């Protein structure tokens, strides 16, 4: 004989288990901002434990929300943004939200089109790693005109009124360069990123670390690139210089991996003759022929904090103060700098 169906879990059951009010549990489920962090964590843990499933249709009608948020990233194939998406999903799933992920392909027009599409679907909020030019605010103004909360991630736009969560790029540049200096390197080149805040901040930190150490390098030691192919070509140019660099700091792991390919093809030993470091701690970094030293940006934590900030903004009855959260970088030293 089949088992009789169990009674569905109610908000009242969760409230009684935790000795809190039904209203408190309801506020957590609805993503309201006026619940303490400890209470919110206890309620979310109990919801997950009991596999509580709200009535989504009734909930949407009552709250006048779709319980969907949009996440727009420039390159979903890059593990950094995939890890951000993972952090976002892990944070919003227990609250009953769904995430719609869009890939802008670093195309500002495609990004604007995707944002308009998401707003047309009446998402409750947006998380945006924007490909817009630094001086362009038109897209952000359109989002704000619709009254949709949004949080910027990875790329910061100082003139935007949105909260921001990302890595401390200036600190990344200083940490990577200082690591190479501590390893005895004095002719440190930089494969620089595009003119967005991550690239600008890391280059700034690189130059600050060199100045603090009393080191001067020629302008030819800084070459722009974005991926492994352009990093490979940039390294070829650096290897042709006289004197040749004794270290390369790649703007991200793909540019550093491309640089290592060019170095090894030239018959130059890593790390004996040239040391290399990247940024991102992407999944293949420790599987390369020479495991790559890197700076971990805590990408999952960026996604978690950004999602939490957005949910709180959605649930707030009035506009919350603009907040910037910078995640401290972590050095991962491997064979490429030893």
Q: What percent of the chain has pLDDT over 70?
A: 91
User: Dmax over Cα atoms in the chain, in whole Å?
Assistant: 84
- All structural domains of the chain, each given as residue ranges with its CATH number in brackets, are 11-53 (1.10.260.40), 65-167+299-327 (3.40.50.2300), 169-298+332-337 (3.40.50.2300)
* Cα 219 to Cα 43, 188, 192, 229, distances in angstroms: 56, 11, 12, 22
- The reported pLDDT for the residue numbered 4 is 37
List, for residues 304-322, the tens digit of each pLDDT value: 999 999 988 887 766 666 6
- The reported pLDDT for the residue numbered 3 is 42
- Of 200, 184, 295, 182, the closest CA to residue 249 belongs to 295
Phi-psi region of 162 (alpha: psi -120 to 50; beta: other; left: phi over 0): beta
List, for residues 46-105, the tens digit of each pLDDT value: 888 887 766 555 555 455 677 899 999 998 888 889 999 999 999 988 887 889 999 999
Predicted confidence (pLDDT) at residue 262 exceeds the cutoff of 80: yes
List, for residues 206-222, the tens digit of each pLDDT value: 999 999 999 999 999 99
List, for residues 276-290, the tens digit of each pLDDT value: 999 999 877 777 889
Distance of CA 276 to the CA centre of its chain: 23
């Amino acid at each position: 004989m089949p088992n009789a169906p169990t009674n569905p879990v109610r908000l009242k059951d969760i409230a009684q288990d935790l000795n809190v009010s039904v209203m408190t549990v309801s506020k957590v489920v609805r993503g309201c901002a006026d619940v303490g962090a400890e209470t919110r964590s206890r309620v979310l843990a109990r919801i997950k434990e009991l596999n509580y499933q709200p009535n989504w249709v009734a909930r949407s009608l009552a709250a006048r929300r779709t319980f969907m948020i949009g996440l727009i990233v420039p390159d979903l194939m890059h593990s950094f943004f995939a890890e951000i998406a993972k952090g976002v999903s892990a944070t919003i799933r227990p609250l009953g939200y769904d995430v719609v992920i869009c890939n802008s392909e670093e195309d500002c027009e495609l990004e604007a089109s995707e944002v308009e599409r998401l707003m047309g679907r009446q998402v409750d909020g947006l998380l945006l790693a924007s490909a817009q030019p630094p001086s362009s605010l038109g897209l952000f103004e359109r989002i704000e005109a619709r009254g949709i909360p949004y949080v910027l991630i990875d790329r910061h736009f100082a003139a935007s009124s949105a909260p921001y969560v990302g890595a401390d790029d200036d600190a990344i540049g200083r940490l990577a360069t200082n690591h190479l200096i501590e390893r005895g390197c004095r002719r440190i080149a930089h494969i620089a990123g595009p003119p967005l805040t991550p690239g600008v901040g890391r280059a700034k930190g690189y130059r600050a670390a060199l100045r603090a150490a009393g080191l001067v390098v020629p302008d030819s030691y800084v070459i722009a690139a974005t991926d492994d192919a352009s990093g490979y070509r940039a390294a070829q140019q650096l290897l042709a210089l006289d004197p040749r660099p004794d270290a390369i700091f790649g703007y991200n792991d793909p540019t550093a991996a491309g640089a290592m390919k060019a170095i090894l093809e030239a018959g130059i030993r890593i790390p004996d003759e040239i040391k290399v470091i990247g940024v991102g701690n992407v999944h293949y970094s420790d599987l390369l022929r020479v495991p790559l030293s890197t700076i971990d940006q805590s990408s999952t934590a960026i996604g978690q904090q950004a999602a939490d900030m957005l949910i709180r903004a959605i649930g707030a009855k009035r506009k919350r103060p603009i907040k910037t959260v910078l995640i401290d970088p972590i050095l991962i030293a491997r064979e490429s700098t030893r």
